Structure 1
């Protein structure tokens, strides 16, 4: 009988583990399996080798080989068994066998009454430096934790960990908090070397980890798994099997559960787009473990956080995980309380006054954005800041940010931000504090003082004010007055998107707030991120008669991520060959009604949905709403993600369903996508007007909210999917180039009088 050998990794040539070549030799393997496994076949039984497969391999370190054998015993019927053989460099296999056997004898047999087991240890083959165990059937807990029943499974896994810790299986190896921190200090700097833009942030993460680790009370130690996560748990009905005790040692039992929780969080962020998507599972596991073991919840959370930080390094080892590193770093910063905020001190102020090698003088740009509940303003300002640095090397940018998520988007070296208290829009021109318990009066005072303090210390050459000429509640006016009185005042620019609100509403609001007078007194230029042929912003909002300075129509402001043909892009997001519909709405703060309507429309087809869909909720959607969308998507070929770092899904979409916010709509137009737009109902008329304008240009198909129904939506989606190729985009989308060119022009004409009137470069 021939024995099939499968070695897809070519392990037989590994000089660091020469025993692998022997372990793959069919004749030798047959001989040693027959002679060395009395536990499997009994005294007079026989073992017949059928196949050899290498299933896992880390060059020079470890290898897993599966042997499929037929077992015949004198007192029983023949049995087909798969044996898992493990080989580790510089180890002989006997210790691994003894350890697993110790657990087996400590109550972890395959028929243990509590349903918590380990694989049966079968034997040790010295010539192969290998020990063998019986392969168990079942499914890894990884996917099952995210499925219905995941909360109950999480509790069972906590019980399994507690049983392991109480088993009192002896070990000579030790692992302490100092070892845990040492590993981070060995691994994380390699990420900083490969990605220098993260170096400062990684250094601060390591400092915070040191503080967190050293503050953790000394534990009562016991035997711990030390590599405990979902792939190490096999679920077979009601029974759990615990795998891979290669790192078993004495240590803090909180480490095992903390490590497991950190892996769940990372998995949630990477596969579900939301680090908190499985928070109920994490909570159930932690609470059950603490109740059983008496461990300190704080210690469990410390190890969970350290595990997340370690995943920053681990993610660099897997190409499919690399796109999530930025989000993972941000999550770690949030957990550790690490901030990238600029601090006001003399050394920092000097650092921000670097001399530009291109102009010979220090250049600095200050950007203000009022930031309500959305990411649009922040996204545009981040793009401007990035391009400014690219064009004016050696310069610095400081952003005044009110977004609840901070700066959120990746900032290049040279850009930093100051966070002011966040606010939410209640009605037209009416705002409230975002933070419960922070009074409106305190919010106003902190914002105004922070803005002025930042501007006074930063001393910008350029000050770009986004959207609101006076700032919310007039908070910018004292800062504008202060800057105007400087010996060398900055050039002050008002940046406006194409459509603000209904013209009569904006005019009345600006008259009420004194905005026209503020623009006339303090602003040197107005940049409109749009085109007068599409929407005449200056005329509609009364700027043509109120501002004597120069108004520049910059074109539409988008990212410059390349448009790539679908054939080259579909493999990256793992989209099948059928049609793809992407549902997205920027930050997603108020996108739930639109997205829920889409899923109700998809449900009309059930599993026969004639396309795939990706729903990107946005990071500002409430967790409960996102979970509701996930429940609605169950059973459909639909993925619900919290956030994606790039335009990959939109780039391969056949149709984009969105609201009518500036950023998402313009990116979809730039990528030449068919667009179905459902504008926000209010309080602002901005999206409704943009839908009307762009519909007339043939760029979008709009459905008013009051016209929305599942059947109407399905009809519109199918019509768009069946339509032909989109026509070329008739809009100017070079705003980034124009903005920086105009900024440079302002800086080079300090003494020149601005030209009156609006123009298009």
Structure 2
């Protein structure tokens, strides 16, 4: 039996949900699990939709019951065929980011091309996001430092599996997002223009950077902590580029978390600072000179997200706050 529970609040009309209802999904899940182990009874399967990214992908929790035992996995299905994500995770797993390592990723299990479905281990642990929003200061600083050490280890050892994401390409995307923000009018128009002008000027001053593997969406949401294991999830944007991008994304995502839940963009700055200090202790301070450019660029990117994802509560104020922070980082 297959039961699918949709998160209808987020995306009631998604084509992905219609895709999930196909009998083929149930058949493939049964084939995969019976191929792993012999069961004496049919599988009962429950799929709970965790998050929709409309027009892109859907993340699900898949729980299977067989012989009275529950097995939990994470599944991700995509609008476009993405076998590259499975290959990336396999390569990282082979390089030592496995479940026996203190710095790990979820175990990739299988990619089913006909369903565009990636199955992976469901990792136990608390997200750094949850810890940052908690009240245990010791645990918060530990989470920031563990997040930094994972990233430093990754930047030092992870293989380069993709083409380089150049800073010129990133600037082109920033310009495209600025054009969209300018159309909103009012203070957002002027602040968007001002921030992009500063980004153009800062781009001309950037020093040449080493190239490393990049997570490209590194944030407190994507880091899970267990007692002896730090695990990073969400490998859809893996690339190669300047390591300063991943640091900037974590710092600005932490600021956005503070803005959304603690009413002040500065409320978690001490944790962002601890994150940066721990990273520098592992890999040196060379990355810091390029950090303002990528922080400001991330502010513009998240302003665009807040503006055009109208499910973000109070999005107008958050857009302006992100733009103000980007301008501040690059200097008045």
TM-score range, shorter chain: 0.7 to 0.9
The change in CA–CA distance for 1:6 and 1:169 in structure 2 (over 3 A counts) is same
The change in CA–CA distance for 1:138 and 1:322 in structure 2 (over 3 A counts) is farther
Structure 1 contact 110–117 (Cα < 8 Å) conserved: yes
Counterpart Cα distance in 2 of 1:169 and 1:32 = 31
Q: Find the counterpart in structure 1 of residue 32 from structure 2.
A: 36
Asked if 1:65 corresponds to 2:52, the answer is no
Q: Give the 5 Å matches for 1:629-640.
A: none
**Structure 1 residue 14, shift from structure 2 partner:** 5.0
Asked if 1:305 corresponds to 2:289, the answer is no
Structure 1 contact 37–122 (Cα < 8 Å) conserved: no
Deviates more, 1:46-55 or 1:182-191: 46-55
The change in CA–CA distance for 1:7 and 1:81 in structure 2 (over 3 A counts) is same
Counterpart Cα distance in 2 of 1:186 and 1:153 = 35
Asked if 1:241 corresponds to 2:238, the answer is no
Structure 2 contact 110–120 (Cα < 8 Å) conserved: yes
Q: Give the 5 Å matches for 1:22-33.
A: 22-25=19-22, 27-33=23-29
Q: Give the 5 Å matches for 1:477-626.
A: none
Cα deviation 1:444-488 (Å, max 9, x = unaligned): xxxxxxxxxxxxxxxxxxxxxxxxxxxxxxxxxxxxxxxxxxxxx
Structure 1 contact 175–251 (Cα < 8 Å) conserved: yes
Cα deviation 1:218-274 (Å, max 9, x = unaligned): 211011101111111122234221001111011011110111011112222333233
Pick from 332, 335, 342 the counterpart of residue 326 of structure 2.
332
Asked if 1:55 corresponds to 2:80, the answer is no
Counterpart Cα distance in 2 of 1:62 and 1:288 = 33
**Structure 1 residue 35, shift from structure 2 partner:** 1.9
**Structure 1 residue 62, shift from structure 2 partner:** 1.2
Structure 2 contact 244–294 (Cα < 8 Å) conserved: yes
Q: Find the counterpart in structure 2 of residue 278 from structure 1.
A: 268
Structure 2 contact 7–51 (Cα < 8 Å) conserved: no
Q: Find the counterpart in structure 2 of residue 445 from structure 1.
A: none
**Structure 1 residue 194, shift from structure 2 partner:** 1.3
**Structure 1 residue 99, shift from structure 2 partner:** 1.5
| More helix as a share of residues | 2
Structure 1 contact 309–332 (Cα < 8 Å) conserved: yes
**Structure 1 residue 312, shift from structure 2 partner:** 2.1
Structure 1 contact 30–49 (Cα < 8 Å) conserved: no
The change in CA–CA distance for 1:110 and 1:308 in structure 2 (over 3 A counts) is same
Q: How many residues align?
A: 323
Counterpart Cα distance in 2 of 1:218 and 1:37 = 48
The change in CA–CA distance for 1:282 and 1:58 in structure 2 (over 3 A counts) is closer
Counterpart Cα distance in 2 of 1:63 and 1:55 = 8
Classify the secondary structure of the residue corresponding to 1:81: strand
Q: Flag the structure with larger Rg.
A: 1
Higher relative contact order (CA 8 A, sep 6+): 2
Q: Find the counterpart in structure 1 of residue 314 from structure 2.
A: 320
TM-score, normalisation: structure 2: 0.87
Q: Give the 5 Å matches for 1:155-304.
A: 155-294=145-284, 295-304=286-295
Cα deviation 1:371-429 (Å, max 9, x = unaligned): xxxxxxxxxxxxxxxxxxxxxxxxxxxxxxxxxxxxxxxxxxxxxxxxxxxxxxxxxxx
Asked if 1:140 corresponds to 2:127, the answer is yes
**Structure 1 residue 83, shift from structure 2 partner:** 1.9
Q: Find the counterpart in structure 2 of residue 98 from structure 1.
A: 87
Q: Find the counterpart in structure 2 of residue 520 from structure 1.
A: none
Q: Find the counterpart in structure 2 of residue 548 from structure 1.
A: none
The change in CA–CA distance for 1:329 and 1:31 in structure 2 (over 3 A counts) is closer
Q: Find the counterpart in structure 2 of residue 395 from structure 1.
A: none
Counterpart Cα distance in 2 of 1:289 and 1:38 = 44
Classify the secondary structure of the residue corresponding to 2:106: coil
Counterpart Cα distance in 2 of 1:12 and 1:31 = 25
**Structure 1 residue 329, shift from structure 2 partner:** 3.0
Q: Give the 5 Å matches for 1:595-744.
A: none
**Structure 1 residue 71, shift from structure 2 partner:** 5.1
Structure 1 contact 286–300 (Cα < 8 Å) conserved: no
Counterpart Cα distance in 2 of 1:331 and 1:168 = 31
Counterpart Cα distance in 1 of 2:66 and 2:226 = 23
**Structure 1 residue 45, shift from structure 2 partner:** 5.1
The change in CA–CA distance for 1:154 and 1:172 in structure 2 (over 3 A counts) is same
Counterpart Cα distance in 1 of 2:261 and 2:234 = 24
Cα deviation 1:666-692 (Å, max 9, x = unaligned): xxxxxxxxxxxxxxxxxxxxxxxxxxx
Counterpart Cα distance in 1 of 2:166 and 2:6 = 38
Calculate the aligned-residue CA RMSD, in Å.
2.5
Classify the secondary structure of the residue corresponding to 2:61: strand
Q: Find the counterpart in structure 2 of residue 3 from structure 1.
A: 2
Counterpart Cα distance in 1 of 2:146 and 2:14 = 40
The change in CA–CA distance for 1:3 and 1:13 in structure 2 (over 3 A counts) is same
Asked if 1:111 corresponds to 2:107, the answer is no
